[in-house]
Every structure is written in C-alpha cells, then in structure tokens.
C-alpha cells in the first residue's frame, strides 16, 4: 500500500527460519515463496519484534522523526508514516 511504512526484509540475508512470522502479534507477516512478506501491511503495529528477534539481522525497522510543529505532520501523523 502506498504510504505505508513496514519493516524492511533483506531477502538476501534471510534464511527463512520463520521467527518473524511466529513472533508477529498482528499476524501481518507470512512466509511467501521468496521468504517472509507482509500480507497485511495495515495490520503491522510496528512493534519491532521481528527486527529484534531475527537471528540474521535481516529485518530493519526505519523510523521517521517529526519535530513538534512540523508542517509536514498531518492529522494522522507524519506523511508516509505507519499505516
């Protein structure tokens, strides 16, 4: 979905162990043919458990810093923020 921020999965480093799928409390990550993927990006709560527990460090959760009063901040948070 355009504008959604979900954790980045480096499929080159991923060993397809399935830890990210098992620990996702929102069940937003599934094991696809090429490796883990976000089947429902809007369900991702950005809890960062997948990043923390990935044994290969193949998942990165980027963050957007928005200063108070930043004109780019919308009513629902920063542009391109978490779904």
pLDDT per position as a tens digit, 40-49: 988 999 999 9
Per-residue pLDDT, 70: 62
The overall pTM is greater than 0.75: no
What is the rounded average pLDDT for all residues in the chain? 84
Q: How confident is the model at residue 80 (pLDDT cuts 50, 70, 90)?
A: very low
Percent of the chain with pLDDT over 70: 78
Q: What is the pLDDT of residue 59?
A: 96
Question: Are the beta carbons of 55 and 17 closer than 8 angstroms?
Answer: yes
State the CATH architecture for 8-78. Answer: 2-Layer Sandwich (3.30)
For residues 7 and 29, give the distance between their C-alpha atoms in angstroms, rounded to a whole number: 10
């Amino acid at each position: 979905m355009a504008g959604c921020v979900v954790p980045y999965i480096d499929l080159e480093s991923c060993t397809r162990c399935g830890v990210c799928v098992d620990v996702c409390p929102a069940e937003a990550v599934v094991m696809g043919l090429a490796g883990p993927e976000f089947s429902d990006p809007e369900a991702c709560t950005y809890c960062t458990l997948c990043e923390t527990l990935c044994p290969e460090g193949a998942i990165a959760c980027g963050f957007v810093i928005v200063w108070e009063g930043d004109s780019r901040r919308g009513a629902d948070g920063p542009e391109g923020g978490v779904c």
